[in-house]
Structure 1
């Protein structure tokens, strides 16, 4: 019973103090003066006194002794002070984290790279983004076009670097383009030319990727072959660019690939540009993508693309 004189009546329902009340308390505790604290907080001294009294009623105990000698912390107030400071520090940290996340300075992005573009796109993109946004964690994955599009659609990937997927529900922006080349065995009669037309390859045997690998691409190829006046004699299909290049080097047939595929094989094949044929590299994303870090990524890669020939320099 000896300590009852220190207790104040609690509010009828337990109430957690508001952050502003903790800030008021800390200010008074540091100044040990309502006048000085009110000046720092830029509120009226009477209002500050009322808010401290409300905090004390909420807690059910006095935090300050106030008399003619001045303002002093009670024992409870002294114990409460470091905890109040810690809460305010955590609140400030939470606000700072929210602001950095909203600015795209922190977060996590999962990026997909089409296997055929990863060799020249992944190093400069990841390097440039990490330099600009070191607080954003990047996860990268090499995938085929079907996995890339499905991953964008279901949210597994936040963005992808690929050839245009040619579907309506995926947004894209062009980052680079490069010549498409006829890939011929070394010693082929056309291998020494500076340029060929697609129609020049009408009588060749062809090796191409599986039609099921991505039907929108193969429908585009069909139109291009028809426009050149022929249907290719496809003697074998392969699952990847390295396989296609190996088949060409073995003399099985010819194919057409973006010029950057030269980095995958240096011997046994010749790359000859096809007149008027270009291949684009794009950044792709789902239209519902709303991560602030993605917007930072978009800015970084578009700036990078504007100053770098990615297929040649990546």
Structure 2
């Protein structure tokens, strides 16, 4: 039996989303086409995987069993592709660095410049990632390492090197009432409206939103954003606020926004993250350069 992994991925997306409509939006394809593709998978397997009704799509008993195996299959396929790509690059003198907007803050440019100075023969390829895309970019082999701001999803081969810590700050419009204060505490955020996002894992979103608060209460969420650039724009033009790292606030500084430290919030770490096995020598050299500069230049 020839099993099409694309169809398997479609099925998993529908199962996770609960409806064909939501899954189609995530996959950027038409809903009728997605339904047809899943039916094609069911015909290949000879079993019904989903029960379709006006409320959405529910897993059949066979679908529940197949979902668990499908996740393992897709993970194994992604790992195999990543291993092949890493092997190809292991002697190519190339480092593929993934980063979120903000990167390593003000250390990003010095690290890149110093690496180019020390290793002029090594090509450094920079790839901007979406929130929550760090682990998949690593396991698929799209990048060799990522400049990340945890928390991150767990993975047995994930290795993390801390570059520095920085305080978390409240980013807000320059005329927001809390902008009158020099520093803030978590309790001061009780009545604010925070931006929200669907990106990243739930643990990641909760940590950055400080949800729940130490007293057990939850933040009030407002506008939905999908990137740091959107977050800054929404904060500048509405009453909504955002919690971010001090380095990010500094890099995206605008005249119509301001940031104040949240003194009792745990600091954010900025880390280099990579998979432990088969680490190319060029990547090891990049890690050494980054650690050396972070030690010399200090935290942000």
Q: Is 1:190 aligned to residue 183 of structure 2? A: no
Secondary structure of 1:276's counterpart equals coil
Contact 1:109–1:158 (CA under 8 A) maintained in structure 2? yes
More displaced, 266-275 or 212-221? Answer: 212-221
Could you say which residue in structure 1 is the equivalent of 2:95? 109
Report the CA distance shift for 1:130/1:310 in structure 2 as closer, same or farther (over 3 A). Answer: farther
Contact 2:130–2:227 (CA under 8 A) maintained in structure 1? no
Secondary structure of 1:225's counterpart equals coil
Could you say which residue in structure 1 is the equivalent of 2:153? 167
**Residue-by-residue CA offset, 1:194-226 (whole Å, 9 max, x unaligned):** 211111111112213x13433330243466433
Of 204, 209, 212, 1:225 maps to 212
Paired with 1:165 and 1:190, the residues of 2 have a C-alpha distance of 27
Contact 1:158–1:289 (CA under 8 A) maintained in structure 2? no
Paired with 1:240 and 1:145, the residues of 2 have a C-alpha distance of 7
What pairs up with 1:234-249 in 2 under 5 angstroms? 234-249=221-236
Of 255, 275, 287, 2:276 maps to 287
**1:118 shift after superposition:** 5.8
Of 106, 114, 124, 2:110 maps to 124
Paired with 2:207 and 2:132, the residues of 1 have a C-alpha distance of 16
Contact 2:170–2:241 (CA under 8 A) maintained in structure 1? yes
Could you say which residue in structure 2 is the equivalent of 1:77? none
Paired with 1:304 and 1:117, the residues of 2 have a C-alpha distance of 15
**Residue-by-residue CA offset, 1:240-284 (whole Å, 9 max, x unaligned):** 122122222212311111112232132222211001331111000
Q: Is 1:298 aligned to residue 287 of structure 2? A: yes
State how many pairs are aligned: 207
Could you say which residue in structure 2 is the equivalent of 1:272? 260
Could you say which residue in structure 1 is the equivalent of 2:39? none
Report the CA distance shift for 1:228/1:180 in structure 2 as closer, same or farther (over 3 A). Answer: farther
Paired with 1:115 and 1:213, the residues of 2 have a C-alpha distance of 14
More displaced, 211-220 or 272-281? Answer: 211-220
Paired with 1:121 and 1:239, the residues of 2 have a C-alpha distance of 24
Alignment TM-score, normalising by the size of structure 1: 0.60
Report the CA distance shift for 1:211/1:111 in structure 2 as closer, same or farther (over 3 A). Answer: same
What pairs up with 1:38-77 in 2 under 5 angstroms? none
Could you say which residue in structure 2 is the equivalent of 1:137? 123
Secondary structure of 2:213's counterpart equals helix
Larger radius of gyration: 1
Gap runs ≥5 in structure 2: 1-89
Root-mean-square deviation (CA, aligned residues, Å) is: 2.3
Secondary structure of 1:266's counterpart equals coil
Secondary structure of 1:184's counterpart equals strand
Of 202, 205, 209, 1:215 maps to 202
**1:298 shift after superposition:** 1.3
Secondary structure of 2:263's counterpart equals strand
Alignment TM-score, normalising by the size of structure 2: 0.63
**1:303 shift after superposition:** 0.4
Q: Is 1:256 aligned to residue 243 of structure 2? A: yes
**1:297 shift after superposition:** 1.2
